[in-house]
Amino acid sequence: MALKGSTAIIGVHDTRVGKVPEKSATALCVEAVLGALADAGLRLADVDGLVTCNSMAQPHMYHAEMVAEYLGLKPRYCATAAAGGGATFTVLYQAALAIEAGICDTVVIAMADSLRSGLSREAAMVMQSSSGHAQFETPYGATVPGYYALIAQAYLHAYDARPEHFAAVAVSGRQHACLNPAAEMRKPITIEDVLASRLIADPLRLLDCSLVSDGGAAVVLTRADRAAHAPHSPVYLLGAGEGRGHEHISQAASLTQSAARLSGERAYAMAGLSPADVDLAQVYDCFTPVVLIEMEDLGLCGVGEAGDFFLRGDGAPGGRLPINTHGGLLSHTHPGNPGSMFALTESVRQLRGGLGERQVADANVALVHAQGGILSSHCTVLLGTEATL
């Protein structure tokens, strides 16, 4: 529990998302850095740590060093993350460890990409079809949606679930997105709309699948004793944990349970909290069935019960436990690896308060969870207000 409350997020920024052809992935990343620093009331000279994630649309051999050079920074701590969607939260607590160890005092974590504007259709298909195991998966022609369709079919079979359970996840996220002016997709949808959308990989339909977007986001993390001087109420890192199950889905021990169970248990233990203490959660929603599995593995629902949780509206605005309050990857935005950054910035804003009609009442503890690969690498983070220390 040594990390609990030792660091705090004091600045956040999201770029415009969706289709942003006028800005490269690098430009979006730099904008996110500068915006987060402005939100924190800091200058570039106040930063001695920088973490970025390489771009698929505009890759660089040394991405973080490139961004630092562009900004004129010479950080004491500089790193490029490479762990898929789960990288966002993994680097957050690693940056906290660097601060706790005295290596640096203030770290900016920024990620951006241009998957919608920066990749041709051919390049996007290569990306979707080249993530499998070279011997046991890729030769059979599966793409990323196909791998997740295996997971969806296994969940339907294991728990006697229905496609409506998956559809309810998409509907819930869209309800949140309709309240968020920054979200890409703000047209209300119904379960019938999801089930009528185009089939992508049986049983997954178009509205079961996340968006493909441009965009970036950044946060500023600093020592807790420095956070008191920030313009906004600090949001403290309470706990974090990782879980690793496999690299490729053909090697997974289970298609209905994941290493989110391990990452969640470790995060709760560090924070000294339990699932019952969580006021809102951002759960990685690259495809709808993933949300059900993660909810159950994280202890937010009983095994096989997450589908009914969403059918009842428990995760929707005003529900028992609001999930993906910005709209998630399904309705807010998904520019690839940086997608989960928006779950982090959203959680900070919710814990600060003042979001009007979409504000979660009495929010003091937020859980954010991301995974990379095909349900492979997981990281869970618990954030809290000063009241939780």
250-290 residue pLDDT tens: 999 999 999 999 999 999 999 999 999 999 999 999 999 99
Rounded CA-CA distance 312/224 in Å is 39
The confidence score (pLDDT) of residue 1 equals: 64
Rounded CA gap, 152 and 137, in Å? 17
Would you say residue 88 has pLDDT above 90? no
Longest dimension (CA), the chain: 57
| Residue 239 backbone class (left: φ over 0; alpha: ψ -120 to 50; beta: rest) | beta
Quote the pLDDT of residue 178: 98
Residue 318 CA to residue 71 CA, distance in Å, equals: 42
In the chain, the amino acid numbered 189 is I
Q: For 175, phi and psi rounded to 5 degrees?
A: -60, -40
Question: Measured between alpha carbons, how far is 371 from 375 in angstroms, rounded to an integer?
Answer: 6
Task: Tell me what pLDDT residue 87 has.
Answer: 75
Contact criterion met (CB below 8 Å) for 115 and 213 = yes
Lowest mean per-residue pLDDT among 64-73, 80-89, 206-215: 80-89
pLDDT of residue 138: 86
pLDDT score, position 237: 98
Alpha-carbon distance 232 to 234, whole Å? 6
- In which band, very low, low, confident or very high, does the pLDDT at 192 lie, cut at 50, 70 and 90? very high
Q: Are 256 and 154 in contact (CB under 8 A)?
A: yes
- The CA-atom distances, in angstroms, between 22 and each of 17, 71, 180, 214, 342 are 12, 20, 23, 11, 21
Q: Under DSSP, is residue 343 helix (H, G, I), strand (E, B) or coil?
A: helix
- Per-residue confidence at 355, pLDDT binned at 50, 70, 90? very high
Calculate mean pLDDT across residues 134-139.
Answer: 88
Helix or strand (DSSP H, E) at 33: helix 25-40
Assess contact for 260 and 380: CB atoms under 8 A.
yes
pLDDT (tens digit, 9 = 90+) per residue, 285-328? 999 999 999 999 999 999 999 999 999 999 999 999 999 999 99
pLDDT tops 90 at residue 124: no
Is the confidence at residue 158, as pLDDT, over 70? Answer: yes
pLDDT at 156 over 90: yes
Angle at which helix 288-297 crosses helix 144-159, to 10 degrees, equals 60
Given pLDDT bands bounded at 50, 70 and 90, which one contains residue 83? low
Question: Under CATH, what is the fold of the domain 7-118+211-388?
Answer: Peroxisomal Thiolase; Chain A, domain 1 (3.40.47)
What pLDDT score was predicted for residue 331? 98
Q: What is the mean pLDDT of the chain?
A: 95
- The C-alpha atoms of residue 338 and residue 341 are separated, in whole angstroms, by 5
**pLDDT, position 164:** 98
Q: Of the given ranges (35-39, 85-89, 177-181, 351-355), which has the lowest mean pLDDT?
A: 85-89
Greater confidence, 229 or 68? 68
The whole-number average pLDDT for the span 356-384 is: 96
- pLDDT value, residue 84: 72
Domain boundaries in the chain?
7-118+211-388
Contact of 156 with 383, CB cutoff 8 Å: no
pLDDT surpasses 70 at 161: yes
The full length of the chain comes to 389
For the chain, give the percent of residues with pLDDT over 90: 87
Question: Crossing angle of helices 341-352/87-100, nearest 10°?
Answer: 60
Q: Which two tokens stand for residue 219?
A: 């946060």
Q: Burial, 367: exposed, middle or buried (Cβ in 10 Å; 0-12, 13-18, 19+)? A: buried
366/334 Cα distance (integer angstroms):
21
Q: Is residue 122 scored above 80 in pLDDT? A: no
Averaged pLDDT, 206-225: 97
Sheet containing strand 235-244, strands side by side: 77-81, 49-53, 106-114, 214-223, 7-14, 235-244, 377-384, 365-372, 280-283
Residue 241: name the closest of 3, 7, 80 by CA: 3
The better pLDDT of the pair 177, 373 is held by 177
User: What average pLDDT does range 327-355 have in this prediction?
Assistant: 96
Q: pTM to 2 decimals?
A: 0.96
